[in-house]
Structure 1
Amino acid sequence: MKLASLPQGRDGRLIVVSDDLAWYADADHIVPTMQALLDDWDRYFPQIEALSIELAHAAIPRRRFHEREACAPLPRAYQWVDGSAYVNHVELMHKAHGADLPASFWTDPLMYQGGSDGFCGARDPIHIADPAWGGDFEAEIVVVTGDVPQGASPQQALGHIRLVGLINDVSLRNLMPGELAKGYGFVQSKPASHLSPAFVTPAALGAAWQCGRLSGTLMVDLNGQPFGRVEAGEECTFDFGTLIAHLAKTRSIGAGTIIGSGTVSNRDPDGSPGRPVPQGGRGYACIAEQRTVETLATGEAVTPFLKAGDTVRMEMRDAKGKSIFGAIDQTVVLG
């Protein structure tokens, strides 16, 4: 089942979307918003699922679904935390700053708490007030949870995942070093993130969803050219059950919490940091990784960070070539 939100008020209006993302049916006569559905999942999910089946059989009134008209599935959430499922990315970022990766990072995930009071839609522009801040995209997988009790095990945590989607976790790379030097983590260097047009139930992902990991190629284009064709499942060190359990170690988690995988990242088969797509590699899911690889290879980063007019696109497709979550497709603007 696929769900989305259309603009209405501050929290959007819940709709059910067909598997091919071509049609939608209003769901607000059952439950008004996605957050309200997540708050009372057991009560409303059977009715929403029945509505989805009726939509699939064209048995109810339906309308054309246009991704550009959707807002973020959750325009605001009670919590947004980002993890480090792809340790290769973390290792490359350490190398970028001349630091070694602690061995514990392979067994104990990193996680930071970001701003959740406003998520942007998939077609909303990326606003960067100052290009000197080093604007970057980060293509990631996200899950949305129901209520999770404190102390839940990784296996128990998997049962509380309600929805799966994509996110562009925008970063301002040149602001990060100063913030991290303070020892308190990201604030200014992490502006609003952009969510995929639709979120999908784990069951609807079929074989692509196994043991808390999503398999498949995450396609990232910059200015219409392939930038990343990274595999989401192969080097995912920490599954989402482990990430959720890490967060729930000392507190319960509220329904509607969004948890990110961190930037999807691959190495080459020989263990090297990876190559750009034009060179036969899988490329990268953020500019910072490509810049790091360039620095390691030649001593100088040549790929620029985002500038006004740049376009960024992120999408995953199923085995039949159909878009799973819809595309995050944006233009960079100053201001």
Structure 2
Amino acid sequence: MQYHQLGTTGLLVSRLCFGTLTISPLQRSFSIPEGAKLIRAALEMGVNFIDTAEIYDCYPYIREALTGYSGEAVIATKTYAYSGAGMEQSINKCLKAINREYVDIMLLHEQESVYTVKGHWEAVEAMVRAREKGLIRAIGISTHYVAGVRAAASIPEFDVIHPIINKYGIGIQDGLTKDMLEAISFAAIMGKGLYGMKCFGGGHLIPQAEEALDFILSVRELAAVAVGMQCLEEIKYNVAKFSGVEPESDLNEKLSRNKRVLHIEKWCRGCGQCVEKCTAGALKVVEGTAKVDMLRCRLCGYCASVCPEFCIKVI
């Protein structure tokens, strides 16, 4: 496994980061033992970087995976907190849930531009105070926007940026792949630590996994890339690719058939809360039922978090 320094944070992270969204209640909803077992398997294969978020509800998986584990583990989480008090609650919730005295990285979740960051400035100030106290080691944002990367790159308080990036620009909200690459390059020049997300375009590029990974591994400014993994075969395949080793041929063939979709159950009553939550514009209510445009859908599963009927899932 290759390891890189994450900007100027002092954190040494594996180039492959375990993205926990896919095992979370928002997607496959693994039991805690099942999810923890997968994370532990990745750790033992050399993956020392774990990405999660408050909304994913994956802290119990991480806590169990780390129980009895003596190796190094770098944990990044994200929060929608926008006030100082809200951020303090998010930090305390995380530390208690993962049973640690500090969390390595805390990010403002899904920031769009300098304006959204400034609208969350109380939360930023709370993160800075927590960093000074040693409760957080590094702070920053996650974003699907080129403007978000450029904004965070110019904010001295931020250490880390977690941008969406993939070969075909799937999910980038305000530009193309080349635009995001230029923003990432600028952020790296500004000394920010960068780790990418959605290199498979939310699952759309899984049939082209080798091509998608070859592209993302060519983006040298990225210290790491968060990849969602739901089975041992996916972990083994990705560990091989990120280690510069050719994966076993049967793994490639098996995983190329794993195309995911957003499924909406028949009992949907069309309340529209998922439509409001979706920042990709992939959902709308048609004749009293939510419908998805899979060409727009990022398969993030965030819509499922607000569904009062629990009728949305990524399968």
Same fold per TM (> 0.5)? Answer: no
As a proportion of its length, which structure holds more helix?
2
- Which of the two has higher C-alpha Rg? 1
TM-score after normalising by structure 2: 0.27
As a proportion of its length, which structure holds more strand?
1
1 or 2 for the larger relative contact order (CA 8 Å, sep ≥6)?
Answer: 1
TM-score after normalising by structure 1: 0.26
